Every structure is written in structure tokens, then in C-alpha cells.
Structure 1
Amino acid sequence: MAIDEETRNTIISLMQNGLDDHEIGNQLDISPYTVRAVRAHITMGTYGSSPTKSEEYIEAEEIRFGLEKDLQQALRRNIKQLEPGLSIIDNGKEHNTDAGFIDILCKDDADTTVVIELKAGQANDTGIAQTLGYMGALKEEGIEKVRGIIVAADFSRRSKFAVKALPNLKLVRYGFSFVFEDATL
């Protein structure tokens, strides 16, 4: 969904007032992922370039975030496939911390809180920093035993090296398996 310039300007104004992506999305009746795409667009400094490029960029971001949302829903339905013993503790919605929204929050068999971060495409070292930020925010909330799992289609080489130094963070590559059934009447 492409957004018009007026909506984009309203989003920017609300961002300047300190509202987060979910609050802005609720107020404007748009997806928080659209807001996040505009935020990324501004951060990358592409705002103000040709409208066609802006709209294409926002659409591409919405598709990526849509895929992450689909991945999140599928994983929530099949969390034990990620790791036996995991149980979701976030009441079916992203958990809000001072560092941002955790995609899925779980507990494992050892009563350790598990932060699960999802990336639709390739994850890089910023995904690691994001996950570590969530883990640190939970520790600030008084949760002592915390670890993280990043689920992505693939990982940058640098992120694979970084995780070698982080025993409480794991990288997991996802894939798809299709099941077909006849739906003819």
C-alpha cells in the first residue's frame, strides 16, 4: 500500500511527538509496519527523493514486514518445532520493552526467558544488536535468566562470527515445506 504525502507528513509529525509505531498506526488506522517503513525511509535519508522511488521503497518495506508477520504467526502456531519445551508467555502479542517490541517471548524447560527475533530475509549484525537490546531490557525489568534466538532465512557472515562470542544467543535458519490437499468440491 503506497501512502500519500499528507499521511507521510502526519506520520513524521507524530514521530516527532514521541509516539511509537503502534500508537501512530492505531491513530491513523494504518499498519504499524507502514509506520516502520516510513521511519526506515526517513532514517536512510531517502525521504524527499522522487515520489516513485519513495512509494516503491515503502511498498518493499511493507512486503518485508508482512512476511515477518506471517512468519511470526506460523511460528506461534508451531513454537515447539523451533525448540522442544518452549512455551509462549506474551499472550499472543509482541512484548513491549524499553528497547522495543519483542516478536515472540517464551520460557523454556529450564525456566529461562527466551527472546525470539524474526527476520524475513537475511539477518545481519544489527539484528544481533536488536536482540541483545531486548535481552538487556528484560534484565532491567528483573528477569535474570534470558537468552535469545534469531530466526531468519539466512545470516551474514559477520553475524555468524559474532554469535560465537555470545553463548546465550542462537541463530536458526528457517525454511518452508508445503502440504497440498485437494480442495475441489
Structure 2
Amino acid sequence: MSRYAQLTQHLLANPNAQFILSFDALDKVVIGGLPASARQYHAWWANNPASQPHARYWLDAGLRASPNLKNGFVVFTNEAALETSELATSVVDESTQQELTEYVESSLSLERDLEDQIVSHLDVLEPGLTLVSRQESSDVGRLDLLARDAEGRTVIIELKAGEAKDSTIGQIARYIGWYADKEGKPPRAMLVASGFAAPVRWAARAIPGLKLVTYRVQFAFEEATV
């Protein structure tokens, strides 16, 4: 099976005519993560399967790719849908690129902050949890957090900045299957997000040992000195 086999379905799960995915997010979809050349060369993202065979996995989803190597993300565009929508703005427009960059940076920042908070307060997530590693690499993608519970069982913790999507359940299932084979017994898993739509909750019920956890962002205010 190709390392990019999950990419088409992951892209099809996003209904927007134009959307962005960070390289870090794509690392979790592509088995073994993106190659270094994907982060370094525009040619890797050429929308031409004759020269770049992996391109067919996003082309099969009806999308064209436009990378931003400096800021570490890719804009995926359904050009046919854009022609009939109010979103028909060129992705190379400077103001559009700035908005996309700010969106990616804020999303990645939130996910990093969320990861830092969970690492600092694992006992709040579940008493007895101990951290094993962060951004753990595996043959099926990169895990956000790997932990052990009070009974010594492996716990996979996946974080999402915002609401979890259907594709996240498939991602978690891959991790569980891989660790079950590696360790000889299935691990537990936790999916942490701001919310879970009903279809995601139903899908989660089909995975034994998967726990859904919601987070809330709170603001504190204090008077500034003049």
C-alpha cells in the first residue's frame, strides 16, 4: 500500500473549495510523514502525476496543490468549485497569502499551546498518566503525545485545534492498530478537541479504548498600568 493512500480520503473529507493544511498535519496523514523534499522544493508539489506520481492522490480528490514552503503549509484548491463560488480569489494574491499564513500560524500555535498545557497537567486529563514522549514517530504517522496510564498501559493522545473531523477517527485507528501489533496488545487512546459532531461520536464508539475529551479556552483579564 502506498504511503499516500490515506491522503485522497482525508482531502475529500474537507467540503471547502479552498483550504489549507500544514506540513505537520500532512505528516499525520502520510504514512511515515512527508519526505524532506516536500518541505524544501516547490517541484515536489507539481500537479503533474507524470513527473510526481504522488500528485495523483490530491488530484484524485479534485484538488490542486500550492505550497508555501516558508510558512510550512499547502493550499489545496478545487478550481471548478471556486469558479462558481464567492471564494474565487487567487491564492497568490498577497493579502490572501497573509490571511492564510496568519490562520495557519494561529492554528499551529493553539495546538502547541494545548500540547504544552496537557503535558504540564496530565493528571487533570487522567490521574496516573505519565508522559513517554512528544511528537512520537511511527510507521503510520506522527503521534502528538504518547503516555502510560496508572496500570502501565500505552495511551495515545491526539490533539486537534478546533473541532475533530471524521478523518481524525481513521488516524487514531491507524495508531491503535500499529501499536497493538508492535506491543502485542491494543493501547488506549484519547482524542482531545474543542468539540465532536454527532458523526464523529458515532464513529468513536466503534473503537474500543478510545476516549473523547473536550477542552475550553479561557481568558483572564487584568488592568494594565498606564
* TM-score, shorter chain, exceeding 0.5: yes
- Displacement after TM superposition at 1:87 (Å): 0.5
How many Å apart are 1:10 and its aligned residue? 3.8
In structure 1, list runs of 5 or more residues that go unmatched: 1-7, 19-27
Match of residue 171, structure 1, among 205, 212, 217: 212
Q: What residue is the counterpart of 1:127 in the other structure?
A: 168
The superposition leaves residues 71-98 of structure 1 with CA deviations (integer Å, 9 ceiling, x where unpaired) of 00111011110011110011xx310011
Greater relative CO (CA pairs within 8 A, separation 6+): 2
* Whole-angstrom CA distance in 1 between matches of 2:156 and 2:123: 15
Identity score, percent? 33
* Unpaired runs of at least 5, structure 2: 1-37, 46-51, 55-68, 80-88
Runs of 4+ in 1 over 3 A off after TM superposition: 8-16, 176-184
In the comparison of the two structures, how many residue pairs are matched? 157
Alignment equivalent of 2:118, drawn from 69, 72, 75: 75
Aligned partner of 2:150 among 82, 106, 109: 109
Q: 1:127 to 1:9 in 2, by over 3 A?
A: closer
Judge conservation of contact 2:179–2:186 (CA < 8 Å) in 1.
no
What is the aligned partner in structure 2 of residue 65 from structure 1? 108
Alpha-carbon distance in 2 for matches of 1:181, 1:161: 42
Question: What CA distance in whole angstroms lies between the structure 2 residues aligned with 1:162 and 1:132?
Answer: 10
Q: Which letter does structure 2 place at the counterpart of 1:70?
A: D
Could you state the TM-score of these two structures normalised by the residue count of structure 1? 0.71
How do residues 126-165 of structure 1 correspond to structure 2 at under 5 angstroms?
A: 126-165=167-206
Q: Is the 8 A contact 2:173 2:207 kept in 1?
A: no
Query: Which AA in structure 2 matches 1:175?
Result: R
Q: Structure 1, residues 19-72: CA drift from partner, whole Å, max 9, x if none?
A: xxxxxxxxx8x6xxx43x22xx24x557x9431334433431232122101100
Task: Considering fraction of residues, name the structure with more helix.
Answer: 1
Q: SS of the residue aligned with 1:84?
A: coil
Normalised TM-score (structure 2): 0.59
Q: Distance in 2 between matches of 1:131 and 1:72?
A: 17
Q: Could you tell me how far apart the structure 2 residues matched to 1:183 and 1:164 are?
A: 47
Alpha-carbon RMSD = 3.1
Cα displacement (A) at 1:141: 2.6
